[in-house]
């Protein structure tokens, strides 16, 4: 091993420890491998999505178009439609996966995710209120989604908090809140004219169709803000699995950090919902896949994000190709694939209260 | 050659002053004022529901005081900055949660958290401290074993090693022997006694077995219904009158022929309400 | 000194979770409960009357009598006969059916958080209706009633089976999650189909919100016998449900044949929940909430729980419906929205305050 990298305390661990500087980072070999592989696969699928579809374009042409060439139609298809779609998909997949990974740690429960506990419903409610009642779009939509998600999260935490934020109670409260929001959303749909209701219903499934640079910006901003915070905060996430008492003793602090991490998860889910609608199951399944693939007990934030990105762009591409010339919204595909995955997890869950 | 954690430079005393603790509007620990000696083993004893675990949690700053104060060597607990607190107090909770499949080395390593930062995630100090803690608790041979495969006694040793790796001045243990069979109970208590002798840490533990407590502790704190009944060395505290008052049991107290400490031989329980 | 068990912090779940909360309820003793039940029935009658009389169109008792005796002579009498009375009848039938179904589900699964909405039964019905609308072009209530019924049945069985898998069986959380996942899955498929064209969407978005206005006499007379059978079967199960509440082992030793009871119970649930969803669309929380109210009033004995639920549930549903008519005059708020918005807080209250949760 070089003077930079050396073996860590456990077989899977590598230490990035430059001599002379009191800085060190732990890296898991398996996590790094998974992240790289999944990220490369995601980029590959995204690149493929630029070339495939109703209007096929070769890879070299696509690259050329991104670089600045190509005909007007080609540029419109690739740069105006497919590229924002791919970028949004990558970002949204990563954001949902991160949100789910954080929530699963906080709740110590593998069956928790922003869609299950109603955060996505809150964001959807907020966004729909803006869409249908106020008639706004763009920035107003984002604000609506953020406000809705935060309100839902506050409500859920307040109700579920009872000497601590226990996983099972969080899940049940989340389901209750989600049901309430679902009623409210149905109400909104019945009160609007049919065309607005249709576009709202389409949005509610989660879709990457008609994405623009606005959506890309939204999700890029979300990631830019939250990822650095996560680099600092993932240490605390790892500690949570030891239980509340030990976490408090080992940090000397109260629930503040947990709440901050919860907030990060909510913001990620809200912004992702604003960018692509409430795509279901990615937040639940991506961290679980990651967990099962990693060698040791990792929080696995980076690999989860990569897996999430891969899932979303993959599902989107499948939705476009399998049902050509019409499209199946990505949310439908993730639900059709993800719900059985959740049910499988349920069947295998022995103790739902455990750290999973 | 085994490395040892360094002996505490100066032992830390724990005192409480009119401490009241509870959840919501209920009061579970009621105005307890007591002083736990530095560098010694203190056992908190009492019947079920007397508040001994709650008192320990108050000492660990897991519960904010409803009234009163806790001092660690003169410093008030609530004023201590988080990082300092984490380096001062080590805890073994009542039912510690061991994540599935975690190895001993990994778990003990978690105890180093208060000494690490997000940019300094593992240093040579950490490695040394973990090795020393595992050696001191006798689990170094089990470093790669998953914790699920260990016996109850071994598991408790691992949790103690985690607390030790924190390098704390005070170790707080909440009913560390309750679910163990006799051999493992002795095992763990012997370990704590030896750690106390060699390293001079202040140890406070909640024990439900009065005879074990009087055998291993230097100082006893006896509670009933949230109040402090009496405190002091076992020879003073473990008397038939105290046993009747605190536990509601009519007993004879003799001197243990092996350990030389008081030994309680219960006759029968008394209807304490009628006797009062 | 012998070792004694340590104090357990009260918010640590103990396994296995006993879902049915012990306690004898507000009213104790057979006579008090009987009396209370009579009062509840009187209340139901009053509410039923109110449901017929109240609303956007002012209706008097004479109009009601006129509508029932002989062919309707005026607009008001027509409104009473063809709108108000079917609406009220739907409320009575669906309310009773949903409440009793919920009570049986809670008893069968020993799970206080069970109910036809929570467990995805509504989603199954919704998908079946959509398939009828799209695949077979059926747009009338009498037409798709049977599909809703079948879809609800399939979903109920499926979710229950799924929730029972794995160690620990059908714990509250697992069952709720299974229902939630199933609802999401079916919802996605449903949306996919309804997004095809505007008219399907238009039909469907109103159907998916439960309402008492969509069934006519024909649909009601078709479904009512099935609901009646379901109630009778459920009533016959009360002894078994009481035994089941003690836990499988104890129930077996008391002589109940578990699998028979569970199958019969499932049949009752399917008839009831399916029938209710068929005539009124998906209405949430009645089946979840009312059995708890009944338990709070009359104690955990399922004979009383069922009796009280059968009376209270339609009362609540009709009250919700009347509120929907009256609150936002001249518009109307569908009953499904009201129960969703009002029932969920009660569900949350249950989760928060009762020690209902276990692994």
Give A3-61 pLDDT, tens digit per residue.
678 777 777 788 887 777 778 888 888 888 999 999 999 999 999 988 887 778 887 88
CA atoms within 13 A on the CB side of C190: 26
pLDDT at C195: 73
Contacts of A24 in chain B (CB under 8 A): 119-123
Contacts of C359 in chain A (CB under 8 A): 168, 351-354
End-to-end Cα spacing for chain C: 34
Counting residues of chain A whose pLDDT is more than 70, the rounded percentage is: 94
Q: Select from C4, C9, C12 the Cβ nearest to the Cβ of B208.
A: C4
C-alpha dihedral sign at C271, C274, C279, C280: positive
Nearest CA in chain A to B110: A239
Nearest CA in chain B to C6: B48
CB-based contact A297 B99, cutoff 8 Å: yes
More confident position, A160 or B93:
B93
* Cα distance between residue C329 and residue C313, in whole Å: 25
Confidence at A355, pLDDT banded by 50, 70, 90:
very low
Task: Assess contact for C26 and C297: CB atoms under 8 A.
Answer: yes
Subunit partners of chain C (3 or more CB pairs within 8 A): A, B
pLDDT at C20: 38
B70-89 residues touching C, CB cutoff 8 A = none
Distance between A306 CA and the closest CA of chain B, angstroms: 22
Nearest CA in chain B to C11: B23
Mean pLDDT, rounded, for B203-222: 94
CB-based contact A175 C180, cutoff 8 Å: yes
* Cα distance between residue A71 and residue A74, in whole Å: 5
Contacts of C4 in chain B (CB under 8 A): 47-48, 208
| Average confidence score pLDDT of chain A | 84
More confident position, A316 or C21:
A316
Report yes or no: B152 at the C interface, CB cutoff 8 Å.
no
Report yes or no: B106 at the A interface, CB cutoff 8 Å.
yes
**Nearest 5 degrees, angle CA A321-CA A324-CA A327?**
85
Q: What is the ipTM for the molecules in this complex?
A: 0.85
Distances (CA, A) of B92 to A171, A238, A282, A303, B116: 28, 18, 37, 33, 20
- Extract the tokens encoding A342: 């959740």
Subunit partners of chain B (3 or more CB pairs within 8 A): A, C
B19-77 pLDDT, tens digit each: 999 888 888 898 899 999 999 999 999 998 888 999 999 999 888 899 899 998 888 88
Contacts of B166 in chain A (CB under 8 A): 250
pLDDT at C308: 93
End-to-end Cα spacing for chain B: 59
Q: Which residues of chain C have pLDDT under 70?
A: 1-25, 139-142, 160, 162-173, 255-256, 329-330, 354-359
pLDDT at A149: 92
Which residue has 């002894």 as its token pair? C239
- Model-level pTM? 0.82
Task: Assess contact for C133 and C164: CB atoms under 8 A.
Answer: no
- Extract the tokens encoding C257: 């044949």
Q: Select from B48, B94, B211 the Cβ nearest to the Cβ of C4.
A: B48
Does residue A100 carry a pLDDT above 70? Answer: yes
Give me the residues paired with residue B252 across strands.
B265
Contacts of A178 in chain C (CB under 8 A): 180
Counting residues of chain A whose pLDDT is more than 90, the rounded percentage is: 25
C113: DSSP letter? T
pLDDT at B204: 95
Give me the residues paired with residue C247 across strands.
none
Which residues make Cβ contacts (< 8 Å) with residue A135, sequence separation at least 6?
none
Report yes or no: B145 at the A interface, CB cutoff 8 Å.
no
Does residue B2 carry a pLDDT above 70? Answer: no
CB-based contact A353 C13, cutoff 8 Å: yes
Task: Assess contact for C322 and C50: CB atoms under 8 A.
Answer: yes
Mean pLDDT, rounded, for A167-192: 82
Distances (CA, A) of A307 to B192, B202, B276: 46, 48, 68
Contacts of A176 in chain C (CB under 8 A): 344-345, 347-348, 351
Which chain A residues touch B if contact means CB-CB below 8 Å? 8-10, 13, 15, 17, 22-26, 163, 231-235, 239, 241-243, 245-246, 248-253, 296-297, 354-355
Contacts of C341 in chain A (CB under 8 A): 180, 183-184
End-to-end Cα spacing for chain A: 34
Q: Select from A15, A234, A241 the Cβ nearest to the Cβ of B122.
A: A15
Q: List the single range of A44-48, A116-120, A340-344, C12-16 with lowest mean pLDDT.
A: C12-16
Does residue B191 carry a pLDDT above 70? Answer: yes
CB-based contact A339 C185, cutoff 8 Å: yes
Q: Select from C184, C347, C359 the Cβ nearest to the Cβ of A280.
A: C184
Nearest CA in chain C to B247: C1
Closest-CA residue to C210 (of C325, C90, C335, C117): C335
More confident position, A101 or C170:
A101
């Amino acid at each position: 091993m070089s003077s930079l990298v050396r073996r860590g305390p456990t077989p899977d661990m590598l230490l990035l420890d430059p001599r002379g500087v009191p800085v060190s980072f732990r890296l898991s070999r398996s996590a790094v491998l998974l992240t790289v592989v999944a990220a490369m696969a995601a980029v590959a699928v995204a690149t493929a999505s630029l070339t495939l579809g109703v209007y096929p374009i070769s890879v070299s042409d696509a690259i050329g178009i991104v670089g600045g060439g190509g005909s007007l139609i080609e540029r419109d298809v690739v740069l105006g439609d497919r590229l924002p779609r791919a970028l949004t998909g990558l970002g949204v997949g990563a954001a949902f996966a991160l949100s789910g990974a954080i929530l699963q740690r906080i709740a110590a429960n593998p069956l928790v995710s922003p869609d299950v506990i109603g955060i996505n419903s809150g964001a959807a409610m907020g966004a729909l209120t803006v869409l249908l009642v106020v008639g706004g779009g763009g920035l107003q939509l984002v604000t609506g989604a953020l406000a809705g998600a935060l309100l839902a999260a506050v409500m859920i935490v307040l109700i579920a908090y009872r000497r601590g934020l226990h996983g099972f109670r969080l899940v049940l409260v989340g389901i209750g809140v989600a049901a309430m929001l679902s009623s409210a959303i149905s109400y909104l749909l019945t009160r609007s004219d049919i065309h607005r209701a249709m576009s709202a219903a389409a949005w509610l499934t989660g879709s990457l169709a008609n994405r623009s640079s606005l959506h890309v910006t939204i999700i890029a901003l979300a990631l830019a803000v939250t990822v650095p915070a996560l680099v600092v905060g993932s240490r605390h996430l790892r500690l949570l699995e030891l239980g509340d008492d030990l976490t408090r003793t080992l940090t000397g602090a109260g629930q503040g950090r947990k709440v901050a991490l919860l907030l990060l998860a909510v913001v990620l889910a809200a912004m992702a919902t604003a960018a692509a609608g409430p795509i279901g199951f990615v937040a639940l399944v991506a961290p679980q896949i990651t967990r099962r693939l990693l060698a040791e007990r990792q929080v696995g934030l980076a690999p989860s994000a990569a897996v999430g990105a891969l899932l979303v762009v993959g599902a989107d591409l499948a939705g476009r190709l399998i049902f050509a010339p019409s499209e199946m919204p990505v949310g439908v595909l993730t639900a059709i694939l993800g719900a059985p995955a959740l049910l499988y997890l349920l069947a295998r869950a022995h103790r739902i209260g455990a750290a999973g | 050659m085994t490395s040892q954690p360094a002996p505490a430079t100066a032992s830390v005393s724990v005192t409480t002053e009119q401490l009241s603790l509870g959840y919501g509007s209920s009061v579970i620990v009621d105005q307890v004022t007591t002083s736990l000696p530095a560098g010694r083993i203190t056992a908190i004893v009492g019947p079920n529901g007397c508040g001994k675990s709650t008192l320990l949690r108050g000492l660990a700053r897991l519960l904010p005081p409803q009234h009163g104060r806790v001092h660690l060597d003169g410093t008030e607990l609530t004023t201590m900055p988080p990082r300092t607190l984490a380096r001062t107090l080590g805890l073994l909770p009542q039912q510690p949660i061991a994540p599935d499949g975690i190895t001993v080395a990994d778990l003990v390593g978690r105890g180093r958290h208060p000494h690490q930062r997000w940019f300094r995630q593992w240093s040579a100090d950490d490695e040394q401290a973990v090795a020393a803690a595992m050696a001191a608790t006798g689990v170094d041979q089990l470093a790669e074993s998953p914790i699920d495969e260990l016996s109850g006694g071994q598991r408790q040793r691992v949790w103690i090693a985690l607390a030790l790796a924190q390098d704390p001045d005070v170790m707080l243990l909440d009913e560390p022997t309750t679910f163990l069979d006799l051999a493992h109970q002795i095992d763990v208590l012997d370990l704590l006694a030896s750690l106390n002798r060699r390293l001079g840490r202040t140890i406070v533990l909640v024990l439900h077995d009065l005879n074990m407590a009087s055998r291993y502790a230097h100082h006893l704190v006896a509670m009933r219904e949230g109040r402090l009944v009496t405190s002091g060395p076992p020879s003073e505290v473990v008397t038939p009158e105290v046993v009747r008052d605190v536990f509601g049991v009519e007993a004879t107290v003799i001197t243990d022929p092996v350990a030389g400490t008081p030994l309680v031989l219960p006759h029968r329980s008394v209807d304490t309400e009628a006797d009062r | 000194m012998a070792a004694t068990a340590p104090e357990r912090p009260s918010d640590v779940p103990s396994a296995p979770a006993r879902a049915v909360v012990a306690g004898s309820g507000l009213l104790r003793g057979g006579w008090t409960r009987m009396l209370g039940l009579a009062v509840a029935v009187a209340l139901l009658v009053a509410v039923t009357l109110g449901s017929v009389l109240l609303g956007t169109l002012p209706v008097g008792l004479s109009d009601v009598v006129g509508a029932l005796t002989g062919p309707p002579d005026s607009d008001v009498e027509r409104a009473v006969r063809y709108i108000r009375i079917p609406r009220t009848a739907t409320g009575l039938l669906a309310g009773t059916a949903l409440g009793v179904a919920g009570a049986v589900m809670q008893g069968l699964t020993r799970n206080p958080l069970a109910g036809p909405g929570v467990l995805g039964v509504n989603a199954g019905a919704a998908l079946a209706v959509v398939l009828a609308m799209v695949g077979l072009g059926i747009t009338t209530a009498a037409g798709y009633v049977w599909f809703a019924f079948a879809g609800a049945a399939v979903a109920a069985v499926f979710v229950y089976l799924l929730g029972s898998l794995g160690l620990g069986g059908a714990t509250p959380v697992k069952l709720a999650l299974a229902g939630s996942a199933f609802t999401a899955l079916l919802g996605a498929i449903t949306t996919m189909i309804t997004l095809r064209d505007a008219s399907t969407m238009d039909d469907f978005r109103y159907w998916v919100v439960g309402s008492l206005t969509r069934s006519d006499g024909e649909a009601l007379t078709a479904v009512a016998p099935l609901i009646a059978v379901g109630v009778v079967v459920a009533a016959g199960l009360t002894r078994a449900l009481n035994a089941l509440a003690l836990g499988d082992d104890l129930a077996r030793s008391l002589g109940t044949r578990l699998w028979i009871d569970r199958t019969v119970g499932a049949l009752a649930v399917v008839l009831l929940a399916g029938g209710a969803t068929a005539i009124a669309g998906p209405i949430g929380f009645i089946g979840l909430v009312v059995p708890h109210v009944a338990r709070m009033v009359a104690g955990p004995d399922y004979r009383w729980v069922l009796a009280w639920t059968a009376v209270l549930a339609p009362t609540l549903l009709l009250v919700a419906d009347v509120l929907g008519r009256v609150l936002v005059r001249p518009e109307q708020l569908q009953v499904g929205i009201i129960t969703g918005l009002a029932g969920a807080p009660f569900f949350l209250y249950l989760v928060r305050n009762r020690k209902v949760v276990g692994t």
